[in-house]
């Protein structure tokens, strides 16, 4: 009985072994070449320059240290097709039973500098946090009420900067009566 095999795999084993050796050496050499390319830069080399960012001009906070002076107040029903009605929003108008708008004219214009505080209208001692500057008129604040619940027979209106209430509360609040609430929609 002969121990010689005629199986074809035996004839292919030497070329497969050589091919495996070439692939293994090629991969190991490729890894080494990649590592060498990264090591070309010295570890203590300076970092790339950063872009220079200009600091914004200092914000003038003096407006937050004096009372907000008021010129006038107007309270009226909110018309659905009005310019100010668009500021209130469709959802507010759909949910409000008797929508009112309070328009307060300030004695001086608000600056347009973004800050972490905002002026709000104070109606009968209650801040109306959904107060907005009227677009295009930097000396006007508007607030919206969904109904007449907060309106009393005699009402006071002031303004204050949130976050600095002690210093900025209006010294001379304006007064209006329930009868003065305009029945005509705000244009």
pLDDT of 165: 87
When pLDDT is averaged across residues 155-164 and rounded to a whole number, the result is 92
Give the number of other CB atoms < 10 A from CB of residue 148.
Answer: 15
List the Cα angle 136/139/143 in 5-degree steps.
Answer: 85
Question: pLDDT at residue 176 above 70?
Answer: yes
pLDDT of 105: 95
The contacts found for 171-174 with CB under 8 angstroms, 24 or more apart, are: 171/67, 171/69, 172/69, 172/70, 173/70, 173/122, 174/70, 174/72, 174/73, 174/104
> 3-state class of 12 per DSSP?
helix
Report which of 124, 119, 146, 122 is spatially closest to residue 134, judged by C-alpha positions. Answer: 119
Reported as a single tens digit per residue, the pLDDT across 57-67 is 666 677 778 89
Model's pTM, two decimal places? 0.65
Reported as a single tens digit per residue, the pLDDT across 99-158 is 999 999 999 988 777 777 889 999 999 999 889 888 888 899 999 999 999 999 999 999
pLDDT of 2: 55
* Window from 7-21, 86-100, 131-145 with minimum mean pLDDT: 7-21
What are the φ and ψ backbone dihedral angles of 17, each rounded to 5 degrees?
A: -65, -40
**Maximum distance among all Cα pairs of the chain, rounded to whole angstroms:** 124
Enumerate the domain spans of the chain.
Answer: 66-180
**From 1.10.3470, 3.30.420, 3.40.50, 2.60.40, which CATH number describes the 66-180 domain?**
2.60.40
- Identify the burial level of 155 via C-beta atoms within 10 angstroms of its C-beta, where 0-12 means exposed, 13-18 middle and 19 or more buried: buried
pLDDT of 49: 78
Cβ 71 vs Cβ 107: under 8 Å: yes
């Amino acid at each position: 009985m002969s121990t010689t095999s005629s199986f074809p795999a035996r004839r292919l084993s030497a070329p497969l072994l050589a091919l495996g050796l070439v692939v293994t050496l090629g991969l190991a050499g490729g890894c080494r070449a990649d590592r060498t390319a990264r090591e070309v830069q010295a570890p203590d080399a300076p970092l790339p320059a950063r872009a220079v960012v200009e600091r914004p001009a200092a914000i003038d906070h003096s407006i937050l240290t004096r009372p907000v002076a008021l010129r006038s107040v107007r309270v009226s029903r909110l018309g659905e097709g009005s310019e100010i009605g668009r500021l209130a929003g469709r959802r507010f108008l759909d949910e409000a039973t008797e929508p009112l708008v309070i328009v307060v004219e300030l004695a001086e214009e608000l600056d347009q500098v973004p800050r972490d505080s905002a002026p709000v209208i104070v109606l009968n001692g209650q801040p109306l946090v959904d107060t907005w500057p009227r677009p295009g008129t930097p000396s006007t604040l508007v607030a919206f009420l969904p109904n007449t619940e907060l309106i009393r027979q005699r009402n006071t209106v002031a303004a204050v900067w949130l976050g600095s209430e002690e210093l900025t509360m209006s010294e001379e609040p304006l007064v209006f009566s329930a009868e003065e609430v305009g029945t005509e929609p705000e244009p």
